[in-house]
A = this chain, B = another copy of it.
Amino acid sequence: MRNRTIITGEDYFTSLRGRKLQVYLMGERVAEPLDHVLIRPSVNAMAKTYELAIEEPELATAQSPFTGKRINRFLHIAANAEEVVMQNRMQRRLGQLTGTCFQRCVGMDAINALFSVTYEIDEKNGTPYHARLKEFIREMQEANFVIGGAMTDIKGDRSKSPSAQVDPDLFVHVARRTKEGVYIRGAKAHQTGCINSHWLVVMPTMRLATEESEYAIVGAMPVDAAGITYIIGRQPGDTRLVDGGEIDAGNAKFSGQEALVIFDDVFIPNQYVFMNGETEFAAMLVERFTSFHRRSYVCKAGVGDVLIGAAATVAEYNGVEKAAHIREKLVEMSLLNETIYATGMASSFESHATSSGNYQCDSLLANVCKQQVTRITYELARLAQDLAGGLLVTLPSEADYRSPATGHLLEKYLKGREDIPTENRMRILRLIENLTLGRNAAGYLTESLHGAGSPQAQRIQIQRQMDLEYKQQLAKKLAGIES
């Protein structure tokens, strides 16, 4: 890819243009994703990660030990707890600025997890993964590339392990090994921001058995490597932008992006291979990555800030912002939203050093954070819809508002408070629709449930770490029971 460091959002757009990606959407090959009306908002969201680094460098950049320069924080390996915490601060801010998923966390969490795991593999086996990874990270930092992290396999019949599936490709695996590298096959589902990335890092999705060594593969490749196909998924209300106008889209500028990525014998040269058959480290990688990634859902507190702000605004536009029950609901929304923030932040604050020297967030609290996110965002959505009123789902289209036949009627009858333009009321309602029933509900709600692992995955981790034995000792002692 290009050899100049990407700095501005414009640089980033330029860096994406003209790639030879195999991208499909709504039944058609997409010639230039950057120019596709349904894709562009997700590119805009990613671009914000560059812009924030310029606008608030303390927040969104860090000092790299590898390049000696100030780099984008998304590419930084956190060397102390405060730097892990700063990731969360940056994530909340970007959630506030975009109102959606800005897609760059997966890569950040992946390289931070791989940093310690590769170190520990090498320590045990004498492999060269850690040095390769550091060189890869340095390369990405120099270019300021976006790394997409690809973990979630298709899984097929979920009651069966990778090797027990009828079709071996239902989990990404090594199809062939040569002296120069490996060829991989399979597909990764729900790949966040993959088309907006420059490189992808594939990783195994679960604990593996010893005989499943072909599934224990970690490696990086450019997004336009030969053999990769992308099929972009539909989002609720995705075509609102196509219908014309921008009000109906709610948040016309920003959205998330998720695609199915199919690897048809894609080659990864050795220098970009960071795990190759070490099945016993698959679970460790999954756990460290998901720990980072689950507390990364602090971003949803940022999106929640937008939703709270929208709900407060619509209450004001309706003239009811001072009613006690309205205020109580805004307080409840804030309480819950800050609970997401606090649990994620506590996980980051309680980070500990790994043997490789980087910092890993607290796993129990990370799972607590994510599990709370799976409930809280839905409750916030319900409360926001409560404050919005029924017009949320019965509001006529922008086209009706612009039409000479009906515009004046809507102007007259959709008025709330006298001093508020009807259009503003429409806009704020559409934003709430966007976040709770529309395009960005995909990220704010369903992704909050299933991203970084579905709810039950967090419960299993909590079960592993809740240390009942210790707690039973405490209880027995106070109850006067001798062990």
A55 at the interface (CB under 8 A from B): no
User: Given the interface contacts A260-B396, A405-B29, does A308 sit within 8 Å of B468 by beta carbon?
Assistant: yes
User: Given the interface contacts A24-B403, A371-B335, does A473 sit within 8 Å of B309 by beta carbon?
Assistant: yes
User: Given the interface contacts A386-B449, A427-B479, does A160 sit within 8 Å of B319 by beta carbon?
Assistant: yes
Q: Which one of B24, B312, B320 lies within 8 Å of A405 (CB-CB)?
A: B24
User: Given the interface contacts A260-B413, A342-B369, A343-B343, does A251 sit within 8 Å of B324 by beta carbon?
Assistant: no
A347 at the interface (CB under 8 A from B): yes
A53 to chain B, nearest CB (A): 19
User: Given the interface contacts A393-B236, A414-B154, does A309 sit within 8 Å of B26 by beta carbon?
Assistant: no
Q: Which residues of B contact A308 (CB under 8 A)?
A: 466, 468, 471
**CB-nearest residue of chain B to A453:** B390
CB contact list, A307-334 vs B, under 8 A = 307-310, 312-313, 316, 318-320, 322-325, 327-328, 330-331, 334
Which of A375, A403, A479 gathers the greatest number of chain B CB atoms within 10 Å?
A479
Cα-based distance from A466 to B250 in the complex (angstroms): 24
Cα-based distance from A399 to B416 in the complex (angstroms): 41
A409 at the interface (CB under 8 A from B): yes
Q: Which one of B247, B416, B454 lies within 8 Å of A158 (CB-CB)?
A: B416
Q: Mark A128-163, 1 if CB is under 8 A from B, else 0.
A: 000000000000000000000000101011111000
B187 with A413: CB separation less than 8 A: yes
A28 at the interface (CB under 8 A from B): yes
B319 with A157: CB separation less than 8 A: yes
Q: Which residues of B contact A410 (CB under 8 A)?
A: 231, 260
A196 at the interface (CB under 8 A from B): no
A357 at the interface (CB under 8 A from B): no
Which of A85, A258, A335, A473 gathers the greatest number of chain B CB atoms within 10 Å?
A335
Q: Which one of B345, B385, B402 lies within 8 Å of A349 (CB-CB)?
A: B345
**CB-nearest residue of chain B to A389:** B450
A176 to chain B, nearest CB (A): 19
**CB-nearest residue of chain B to A424:** B481
A64 at the interface (CB under 8 A from B): no
A59 at the interface (CB under 8 A from B): no
A374 at the interface (CB under 8 A from B): yes
CB contact list, A436-483 vs B, under 8 A = 437-438, 441-442, 445-447, 449-451, 454-456, 459, 462-463, 466, 468, 470-476, 478-481
A283 at the interface (CB under 8 A from B): no
A1 at the interface (CB under 8 A from B): no
A90 at the interface (CB under 8 A from B): no
Cα-based distance from A392 to B171 in the complex (angstroms): 20
A235 to chain B, nearest CB (A): 6
A7 at the interface (CB under 8 A from B): no
Mostly, the A contact residues are helix
A323 to chain B, nearest CB (A): 8
B414 with A386: CB separation less than 8 A: no
User: Given the interface contacts A339-B343, A390-B189, does A236 sit within 8 Å of B437 by beta carbon?
Assistant: yes
B331 with A328: CB separation less than 8 A: no
Cα-based distance from A90 to B26 in the complex (angstroms): 39
Q: Which residues of B contact A353 (CB under 8 A)?
A: none
B342 with A231: CB separation less than 8 A: no
Cα-based distance from A71 to B378 in the complex (angstroms): 43
Instruction: List 6 A-B pairs, Cβ < 8 Å.
Output: A24-B403, A187-B413, A237-B438, A312-B472, A324-B324, A386-B449
A327 with B463: CB separation less than 8 A: yes
Q: Which residues of B contact A236 (CB under 8 A)?
A: 236-237, 393, 433, 437-438
Cα-based distance from A258 to B391 in the complex (angstroms): 10
A239 at the interface (CB under 8 A from B): yes
Q: Which one of B252, B312, B350, B397 lies within 8 Å of A345 (CB-CB)?
A: B350
A217 at the interface (CB under 8 A from B): no
Q: Which one of B319, B365, B406 lies within 8 Å of A231 (CB-CB)?
A: B406
B472 with A313: CB separation less than 8 A: yes
B390 with A26: CB separation less than 8 A: no
Q: Which residues of B contact A169 (CB under 8 A)?
A: 412-413
Which of A189, A306, A396, A474 gathers the greatest number of chain B CB atoms within 10 Å?
A474
A420 to chain B, nearest CB (A): 9
Q: Which one of B248, B335, B395 lies within 8 Å of A462 (CB-CB)?
A: B335
A280 at the interface (CB under 8 A from B): no
A257 to chain B, nearest CB (A): 10
Cα-based distance from A166 to B233 in the complex (angstroms): 47
Q: Which one of B27, B305, B437, B463 lies within 8 Å of A446 (CB-CB)?
A: B437
Q: Which one of B243, B385, B476 lies within 8 Å of A239 (CB-CB)?
A: B243
